[in-house]
Structure 1
Amino acid sequence: MPDSPPAAYTIQSLARAEVRSLAPYNAGLSNEAVRRRYGVERIARLGSNENPIGPAPGVIEAVTQAARECALYPDAECQTLRAALSERLDIAPERLVFGNGSEDLIAILARVFLDHGDEVVTMVPAFGLHTLYPQSMGARVIGVPITAAGAIDVDGLLGAITPRTRLVMFSSPSNPVGSALSRAEIERLLAGLPPHLLLVFDEAYFEYGQLADDYPDVLALLEASRQPWVLLRTFSKAYSLAGFRVGYGIVSDPVLADLVDRVRTPFNVSRPAQAAAVAALEDQEHLTRSLANVATERARLSAALAAAGLRVYPSLGNFLFLALEREADAVGEALLSHGVIVKTWREPGFTHCLRVTVGSPADNALFFEALMQALDAPVRGSLADASH
């Protein structure tokens, strides 16, 4: 018989040290879990930056058709979606890569480019997977704090780069804050980056950023540079396809796409998901309606929160980042008892902050009233009757 395992043996010891030390990703609670735990029926789901408008009507029809062939593997090359995006973006099809959400592509990039001793420069607070995936590969993550005004610190990012840096990765509009780089800031960043690293520019909230007149054409600016780069986008947010998980990347050179394809699973975007993305892309009127809801409700909710004395960071996303005078987890728990799901932030230095999705008028009103109760503040502002 084999020798007995040592007394100190645990299942955890089988895992790589980097994985054992990872903090779990804060994905939040499901509607069903909140209903069971708190006995509430009405749920305002404002923790995951989902689109309250829902998908375009053509998406449902396309998915229904695709489901009839669910016994067959999907197109590993996403050829129909690739052609549609290639035409829309005026990008050669071989410069597109696809993932099971853009998070899948972040994980693939970490596996392709990072090893023990490598460094990744990002911003703080950060989208959690910009940190967790590099750490899982043994890379050191260097976080550059946002400025006092909530802006991305370009000079800080450039100053954090060392000869060991392999990726500079951040989101703009930034998640969770909502700030975005200007044209001049992007040009300064690109001019200062050394050639030995890859820039991963996460533009998951690209469509919402375009609501601002001065939002830069990031793709054009990247195209004009000589830096190797990957521009990440997603169908999860503005196109309302979070449940189907379709993300894509535009790469500076087809060689990058080839490297990504060597590591990704061959059927990582399902047949219904590909069909849904193509249908969503075709209905630009529906997208416009979704963006209009965010433009109106973000301004109204931000103004009401500021009038109530709260600090609200300027945002170009479909969410707001709030600074409270107490730990956000306790406030988040109180909101859950009212059926309101938000995302409380847990990074050091920002545990007093929460991120709330800009939802429907009714959901925003429920959040505002529940937040005022949680903070023992009087309900004021114009959201009390926003659902009428």
Structure 2
Amino acid sequence: MMEWTKLVRPGISDIEPYVPGLTDDELQKLYGLKRVIKLNANENALGPSPLAIEAIREELSTLHHYPDGGSELLRDAIAKFHGLSAEHVLVGNGSDDIIKLLSETFLESDDEVVVPSPTFSQYSFGAAIMRANVKQVPLHADFSFDVEALADAVTEKTKLIYLCSPNNPTGTILTQEEAEWLLKALPEHVVVVLDLAYNDYSQNDRRVVDSPALFADPRVVLLHTFSKLYGLAGLRVGYALAHPELLAFVNRVREPFNVNRVAQRAAAAALLDEDHRRASRALAAEGKRFYETQCAAVGLFAVPAEGNFILVRTGDGVATANELMKMGVMIRAGFSGLAEWVRISFGTTEENEICMNALIQSTQRQHA
């Protein structure tokens, strides 16, 4: 018997691998369902940008060629969109890829990463790979950010701090005022990563947004993704906006060809699709109004939503999610510290109505 623990790098065996939930096909087969409504992954219910689909079709005949190793065409498109130079842009195989690259660039064993709790799990995963320690700072009771506690958690060993706004899974925002206060309070040796994956869905004027001041701060990394608003989750494209000197070091650990050529072309085309962007925001706003109104009407507490999903307290989140799966509706539960809650992605009008009816049935049975 091979003793693998003597061969693998120390700490690898302590990392819990990501275990995906049932797919819609598996759920359909398991319960004999004719239809499954998938509202568990914060995907865009409108689907991909039509301009992106057309770009994919045009690129299919060139799949025998390698992609552009530096994603130059896409970086130029992103830079133009944000009013920056291409040197401020790093493209990755989804935001997950960039989070891992940041970990590999900045972290060593026993360094520290500060994150709010609960939040997106990949921040801790990146730290675990490098054997860094994660300091979790609880959100306030209303799930708003406790910026003073985040600042107090920083030590001389802290290298990275991650802030997701709107936060996944709570849907709460970091305000511009809070971001500015935190940047002033933090020492120069801490890199601040603002993950804005869902920020384009929020209509809250107080939320932190891309700004010349943030672009100019050499400690700040702004993460964006094409998986949500642009509906390209299956292509895995994310990007970072940061100071060129910082990105020059991250590029040293980036693999060449990390974004495939179809994904690069589709993402560049999606940036030009203002109609799809507007329609996606409108659908999310409709979903927000629907769930907040319906939950209030039946006595279910929901956190005011700022992304394309909503956090609802049902009493037993896992039991609720399992009940809804049997009815053909996939939602998300099991987040650390959120045993009573479920996260529901916004779907089409019909999908939202079906989900809400199933949610009401489930909670009535639980409390009967």
Tell me whether the two structures share a fold, i.e. TM-score over 0.5: yes
Q: In the TM superposition, what is the alpha-carbon distance from 1:124 to its structure 2 partner?
A: 0.5
Change (3 A) 1:32 1:10: farther
Deviation at 1:220, TM superposition (A): 3.3
State the aligned residue count. Answer: 366
Choose from 322, 330, 344 the match for 1:356: 344
Matched, 1:334 2:323: yes
CA gap 1:26/1:185 in 2 versus in 1, 3 angstroms: farther
The question of whether the paired residues in 2 share the 8 Å contact of 1:190 and 1:227 is answered with no
In structure 1, distance between residues paired with 2:93 and 2:185: 32
SS of residue in 2 equivalent to 1:343:
coil
Equivalent in 6, 20, 25 of residue 18 of structure 2: 25
Corresponding residue SS for 2:318: helix
Residue in structure 2 matched with residue 368 of structure 1 by the alignment? 356
What is residue 46 of structure 1 aligned with on the other side?
A: 39
Give the TM-score of the pair, scaled to structure 2: 0.95
Report whether the alignment pairs 1:217 with 2:209: yes
- Within the candidate set 236, 250, 273, 1:283 is matched to 273
- Among residues 288, 294, 318, which one is paired with 1:304 in the alignment? 294
Relative to the length of structure 1, the TM-score reads 0.90
State the shift of 1:81 in Å: 1.2
What's the secondary structure of 1:47's corresponding residue?
coil
Contact 2:218 2:246 in 1 (8 A): no
Q: Structure 2 counterpart of 1:307, which letter?
A: A
Letter in 1 for 2:343: R
> For the residues of structure 2 that align with 1:258 and 1:58, how far apart are their CA atoms?
31
- State the shift of 1:112 in Å: 1.0
User: Given the alignment of the two structures, is residue 320 of structure 1 paired with residue 310 of structure 2, yes or no?
Assistant: yes
Q: What SS does the corresponding residue of 1:354 show, helix, strand or coil?
A: strand
Q: Does residue 344 in structure 1 map to residue 338 in structure 2? A: no
Percent identity, aligned pairs only, is 36
Alignment-mate amino acid for residue 198 of structure 1: V
**Root mean square deviation of aligned Cα:** 1.7
Q: 1:219 to 1:264 in 2, by over 3 A?
A: same
Question: Do 2:118 and 2:335's aligned partners in 1 also have CA atoms closer than 8 Å?
Answer: no
Find the aligned partners of 2:237 and 2:37 in 1 and give their Cα distance: 24
Amino acid at match of 2:241: I
Q: In structure 2, do the counterparts of structure 1 residues 240 and 111 end up closer, same or farther at CA, with 3 Å as the change threshold?
A: same
Deviation at 1:30, TM superposition (A): 1.3
Which sits farther off after the overlay, 79-88 or 99-108? Answer: 79-88
Per the TM alignment, residue 244 of structure 1 is displaced from its structure 2 partner at its CA by 0.6
1:384 aligned partner: none
1:201, 1:232 within 8 Å by CA — same for their partners in 2? yes
Where structure 2 has 5 or more consecutive residues not aligned to the other structure, the ranges are: none
For 2:286 and 2:328, the matched residues in 1 are separated by 23
Asked if the contact 1:187/1:221 (under 8 Å) is kept, the reply is no
The CA deviation at 1:26 is: 4.8
CA distance in 2, matches of 1:295, 1:58: 23
Q: For the residues of structure 1 that align with 2:117 and 2:296, how far apart are their CA atoms?
A: 23
CA positional deviation for 1:246? 0.6
Q: State the SS of the aligned residue for 1:375.
A: helix
Moved more, 99-108 or 19-28: 19-28
1:352–1:17 CA distance, 2 compared to 1 (3 A): farther
CA contact (8 A) 1:12 1:20 kept: yes
Return the letter of the residue paired with 1:229: V
